[in-house]
Amino acid sequence: MTVIWANSGDSHLLEPEGLFAERMPAELASRMPRSEKDPDGQWETIHIDGESFRRRLPSKPLRDEAEGLSADERAPGAFDPELRLKDLDSEGIWAELIYPSISIWNASLKDPELLKAGVQVLNDWIVEFQSHSPRFVCTAHVPLLRIEDAVAEVARAAEMGFKAVFMPVEPPPGMPGFNREDWEPLWQVLESTGLVIGVHIGTEAHDASTYNGQYHRGPGGAVMNYFETTFGGQRMAAQLITSGVLDRHPNLRVIVSEGGATWGPFLADRMDEGYAQHASAVRPKLSKRPSSYLYDQVYASFQHDRSAVAAHTAMGWNNVMWGSDYPHVEGTFGHTQATLRSLFDGVDETARRRILLGAFEELFPHVPAPPNEVAA
């Protein structure tokens, strides 16, 4: 069988243990987020600047295609960029938009000086990681506790060669909402540098003194907690549209990663309905209908969702793309080709190429095409 090549709009790097200890003063390094896993591999303790909470680790996924890996059986290339390329080749994954892992918890830091220093260390290391291959499109961290720090770091990241930033689905507690004018300098620098806004679901800040890894409890709680994480990305996309950010900045591009894709056309309809039918209360007025910004400037990545392809083929959203979530345990490692075959069985070549390669290439035109594109 021939390989189906796919770009991934949702991948991750695993930050090396000891990164902060090597590159920051000890007093600061010890306060950055870190994980301490239990010997049995079932739970971890997340430490964030003197606070900590417990979190259950993902176990082997239950899937038809193939058994997945558990947290202690990472993909061979999880920590090594050269081995990672071998993993990608064997899975049929070409280029990747790469998010952080443990540093997603930076959203919970409260000290702007610590965050600023930690983000600089991270971005310096991440750009070294990115330099291993043009197939790696890494997201830069943005210190969001002071807007001037955020603007300065985006400008620095662009200079360093980043093509995208990672942003959580909402600002840190105490900061203005992303719909507020305060953030205008950030949108300006992102647009002028051409960096894509990568929004990964499940990245809300948590108060580490109270967060226990669960919103819902009791019967159904695990699935409820999972799909609860989906909505933050949709809210952020809707906020950037309805507050006029994407209207004022027509060259800004936003991707919502790991949150499925069928929500896009649904959200577009709901925003248009509110905008037209409740017009007397609507501000600001936009140059176009809200749905136009979603269809033009917002992208989404899905991994297994069975209705996602139809968001493109049946509902007309061109910006649907696939994502592997490599090397996370809940991703497609070990069964990527089987997953792609089942998702794209009977889908025409043009639509398949758009979802698997084209939408990603539109966001990141510097990425080379896969070596031997072949029909499925």
User: d(Cα 189, Cα 153) in Å, to the nearest integer?
Assistant: 10
Q: Contact at 8 Å (CB) between 26 and 142?
A: no
Minimal distance, residue 160 CB to Mn ion, in Å: 23
Residues listed for the chain: 376
Phi first, then psi: what are they for 101, rounded to 5°?
-120, -85
Minimal distance, residue 115 CB to Mn ion, in Å: 22
Minimal distance, residue 375 CB to Mn ion, in Å: 28
Q: Contact at 8 Å (CB) between 103 and 141?
A: yes
Helix orientation angle between 231-242 and 263-277, rounded to the nearest 10 degrees: 40
Nearest residue to Mn ion by CB is 258
Q: Residue for token digits 């997953």?
A: 339
Q: Contact at 8 Å (CB) between 288 and 247?
A: yes
Minimal distance, residue 346 CB to Mn ion, in Å: 27
For Mn ion, give the closer residue by CB, 10 or 15.
10
Look at residues 324, 239, 236 and name the one whose alpha carbon lies nearest to residue 284: 239
Minimal distance, residue 168 CB to Mn ion, in Å: 13
Q: List contacts with Mn ion (CB under 5 A).
A: 10, 258, 325
For Mn ion, give the closer residue by CB, 149 or 325.
325
| Cα four-point dihedral sign 112, 113, 118, 120 | positive
